[in-house]
Amino acid sequence: MVSSRARKITTQTLLKMKQAGENIAMLTSYDYSLARMVDGAGIDVILVGDSASNVMAGNETTLPITLDQMIYHAQCVVNGVERALVVVDMPFGTYQGDSKTALDSAIRIMKESGGHAVKLEGGSEVAESVERIVNAGIPVMGHLGLTPQSIYKFGTYTVRAKEEGEASKLMEDAKVLEESGCFSMVLEKIPSDLAKHASESLVIPTIGIGAGPHCDGQVLVLHDMLGITKDFSPRFLRRYADVGQVVGDAVSHFVEDVRSGDFPNDDESY
Ligand code: KIV
């Protein structure tokens, strides 16, 4: 077993975990308090996902979140983390134009947030940007399959790469991303067999979400797995708690106590 439990996680640790057959655990976080709990519980990687656009801001898609907003969320997360590798999503519009813009955006994220790596969506079309960012010393995580920043191109959030053509394009893209210098990649909502094939073909670790058990690691959105978000129930999501219920019950109880005059009592007063 790789001794990844007691010291800070680096991109090298993740590679060694793959080589040792040890699964990588990744969750999202967007703020100090939850990131501190997630890190303290032993997570390997914290993703400051652009899913903050949905979960934190209530937007329908990930498209509206800005670079400044992502940097703010990442700063908050970094303040709460001692051990995990913190990966920050590059938001829509900050890397697709040209590789110079992509590098400038990645540098801003690293300089202003203190995160340890960036993540971006796409395959061969972002390869030049990946190379340029990696050459500047910034680790890059790729993201293939269902890439939510392209939702208006896909039209739906259904499983990707079920057809032969899209599956072989995904395999090609995965190879290109690895050759361009990515240290890892997310595979989102693709058939389990394809994720297995990709994970076995790549040296770098794959992290799956809705991509079956054969990836080198798994990621979920924290608010989904905690049961805070209620209106999102894809098949791949396992709910580990019902925090939404706990919060609702606690708030109702507080309202009741305030209305009845039970709170605060003498012990809670000066
Ligand atoms: O933004 C995000 O939370 C993500 C995960 C779903 C992988 O990209």
Average pLDDT (188-198) is 98
Residue closest to 90 by CA, chosen among 47, 45, 124:
47
What is the C-alpha separation between 43 and 23, in angstroms, rounded? 11
Taking a C-beta distance cutoff of 8 angstroms, is the pair 4, 13 a contact?
A: yes
For ligand 1, whether the C-beta of 167 sits within 6 Å is no
Confidence band of 4 (pLDDT split at 50, 70, 90): very low
Confidence band of 7 (pLDDT split at 50, 70, 90): low
For ligand 1, whether the C-beta of 53 sits within 6 Å is no
| The two structure tokens encoding residue 18 | 């793959």
pTM of the entire predicted model: 0.96
User: Taking all residues of the chain, what is their mean pLDDT, rounded to a whole number?
Assistant: 96
pLDDT digits (tens, 9 = 90+) for 55-81: 999 999 999 999 999 999 999 999 999
Taking a C-beta distance cutoff of 8 angstroms, is the pair 110, 137 a contact?
A: no
- What is the percentage of the chain residues whose pLDDT exceeds 90? 96
pLDDT digits (tens, 9 = 90+) for 108-161: 999 999 999 999 999 999 999 999 999 999 999 999 999 999 999 999 999 999
Q: Looking at 188, 200, 256, 268, which residue is catalytic?
A: 188
Average pLDDT (3-15) is 80
Residue closest to 30 by CA, chosen among 86, 85, 73, 90:
73
pLDDT digits (tens, 9 = 90+) for 202-216: 999 999 999 999 999
How far, CA to CA in Å, does 188 sit from each of 69, 146, 157, 219?
24, 5, 10, 9
Which numbered atom of ligand 1 lies nearest the CA of 188?
Answer: 7
pLDDT digits (tens, 9 = 90+) for 217-242: 999 999 999 999 988 899 999 999 99
For ligand 1, whether the C-beta of 219 sits within 6 Å is yes
Where do the domains of the chain lie? Answer: 11-239, 243-270
CA of 76 to the centre of ligand 1 (A): 18
- Atom 4 of ligand 1 has which residue's CA nearest to it? 49
Check if 188 is active-site.
yes
Q: Which CATH superfamily is domain 11-239 in?
A: Phosphoenolpyruvate-binding domains (3.20.20.60)
